[in-house]
Amino acid sequence: MKRTLFSPEHEIFRQSVRAFFAREVVPHQERWAEAGIVDREVWRKAGAAGLLCPWLPEQDGGPGGDFLHSLVIMEEQARVYESGLAISLHSDVVVPYLASFGSESLKRRYLPGCVSGDIVTAIAMTEPGTGSDLAAIATTARRDGDHYVLNGAKTFITNGILCDLCVVAARSESGDNPHQNLSLFAVEAGTPGFHKGKKLKKMGMASQDTSELAFEDCRVPADNMLGPPGGGFLMLMQKLQQERLVVAAGSQAAAEVVLADALKYVQDRKAFGKPIAKFQNTQFKLAECATEVEIGRVFLDRLVEEHMRGEYLVKECSMAKLWHTEMVGRVVDTCLQFYGGYGYMLEYPIARAYMDARVQRIYAGTNEIMKIIIAKQMGL
């Protein structure tokens, strides 16, 4: 079906984004995967090219675009099978907390650097003892004069090594209600007591610097709190909808790219004297994949439209995160089979896509959590 989501201006932007990835990302992917981290300089180049926080208003130092510009970037990044350069995490998950809940002084201090790539961000919610259950966060923030003193440990933090600024969820208030004593803090790298731990080895996303973080008597200015004291849980609930939409969008784009490449591959690969595209099993399986991808695209584009209108789409974003991440797993697994042994080789992008797809069902809230949220929204 023909897409109507983007304007001609967005498509012009797409061409510049595509050129950026071809020039600044693709030649380095193998080296980045071996190193387990992307070059720091690529973030500044992305900023100079207008790829960071494209939706941020001009008065805050941004380009003045919209979320569709971010969606273009997600789609073009998927097109080159790049999962290590965590642009969407920075631009569309972390920075919105600063833009929406930061004081004017914090926004002036940090947002221009987030746009230029001089500041790379991360968000620290997950802890060794708790994942999707935000109410169980154990990191504490004790008020001490004009500062809060943070103590605790975080894990599975994307951009954990490269980050210059981290949004940290910690318990700052007393009381038994875990939903009313959580606060968010903007913590700069280099702050005494803020320790970046080891870079974690993962099954997929080889060039993404996922790490542990630790806070030991880390003194953070009270002015670096985002929003009101104890307001962290509500802020997370508000912004997690876009995070889940971002995951769904990345999954959809990945499924489309994998399917397109598989369609080309089955035309060339032969078995028993003819292209495997001529076998009924190949045709039926790829028809099933194409149907899922087409349905996913229509639902996602409609959801993006409503999200941009300011609709609060808790159920729908949870559904998208659940369904699209499951869908990309099915599509990638089906398509990989057509490559035979080559599909198991890391030099083929399909192998990397297979490993990268698995985590989509885990982060931004596991798919089991998505089912709980959906059920509650249904009144169950």
CB atoms within 10 A of CB 21: 20
Per-residue pLDDT tens over the stretch 167-205: 999 999 877 787 889 999 999 999 999 999 989 999 999
Distances (CA, A) of 350 to 203, 322, 338, 356, 357: 14, 22, 10, 10, 10
Tell me what pLDDT residue 377 has: 96
Distances (CA, A) of 37 to 34, 127, 129, 183: 8, 22, 26, 30
Tell me what pLDDT residue 135 has: 78
Domain with CATH 1.10.540.10 in the chain: 8-116
Is the model's pLDDT at 12 over the cut of 80? yes
Query: Following DSSP, what letter does each residue of 13-81 receive, concatenated?
Result: HHHHHHHHHHHHTGGGHHHHHHHTS--HHHHHHHHHTT-SSTTS-GGGTS----HHHHHHHHHHHHHTT
Phi-psi region of 81 (alpha: psi -120 to 50; beta: other; left: phi over 0): left
Q: How far apart are CA 170 and CA 193, in angstroms?
A: 15
Give the pLDDT band (50/70/90) at residue 357: very high
Is the model's pLDDT at 133 over the cut of 80? no
**Mean of per-residue pLDDT scores for the chain:** 96
Q: Name the CATH superfamily, with its identifier, for domain 234-377.
A: Butyryl-CoA Dehydrogenase, subunit A, domain 3 (1.20.140.10)
Tell me what pLDDT residue 202 has: 94
Tell me what pLDDT residue 272 has: 93
The share of the chain scoring above pLDDT 90, in percent, equals: 94
Tell me what pLDDT residue 276 has: 97
For 211, the token pair is: 């790490």
Is the model's pLDDT at 317 over the cut of 80? yes
Domain with CATH 2.40.110.10 in the chain: 122-230
Per-residue pLDDT tens over the stretch 156-168: 999 999 999 999 9
CATH of domain 122-230: 2.40.110.10
DSSP lists the bridge partners of residue 147 as 144, 221
Give the pLDDT band (50/70/90) at residue 136: confident
Q: At what angle do helices 40-48 and 104-116 cross, to 10 degrees?
A: 100
Domain with CATH 1.20.140.10 in the chain: 234-377
Tell me what pLDDT residue 231 has: 94
User: Is 212 strand, coil or helix?
Assistant: strand
Length of the chain: 380
Lowest pLDDT segment from 22-26, 129-133, 340-344: 129-133
Q: How far apart are CA 296 and CA 328, in angstroms?
A: 10
Phi-psi region of 66 (alpha: psi -120 to 50; beta: other; left: phi over 0): beta
Tell me what pLDDT residue 132 has: 72
Lowest pLDDT segment from 73-82, 99-108, 124-133, 188-197: 124-133
How many H helices and E strands in the chain? 12, 10
Q: How far apart are CA 290 and CA 282, in angstroms?
A: 12
Is the model's pLDDT at 130 over the cut of 90? no
Q: How far apart are CA 295 and CA 333, in angstroms?
A: 18
As a whole number, mean pLDDT of residues 53-74 equals 96
Give the pLDDT band (50/70/90) at residue 37: very high
The answer to whether 251 and 293 have CB atoms below 8 angstroms apart is no
Q: Name the CATH superfamily, with its identifier, for domain 8-116.
A: Acyl-CoA dehydrogenase/oxidase, N-terminal domain (1.10.540.10)
Q: How far apart are CA 207 and CA 25, in angstroms?
A: 12
Burial (CB < 10 A; 0-12, 13-18, 19+), residue 358, is middle
Catalytic residue among 24, 127, 243, 316: 243
As a whole number, mean pLDDT of residues 359-376 equals 96
Tell me what pLDDT residue 180 has: 85
Is 76 a known active-site residue? Answer: no
As a whole number, mean pLDDT of residues 202-214 equals 96
Tell me what pLDDT residue 131 has: 72
Burial (CB < 10 A; 0-12, 13-18, 19+), residue 308, is middle
Say which residue, 173 or 222, is predicted with more confidence.
222
DSSP lists the bridge partners of residue 65 as none
Q: How far apart are CA 41 and CA 31, in angstroms?
A: 14
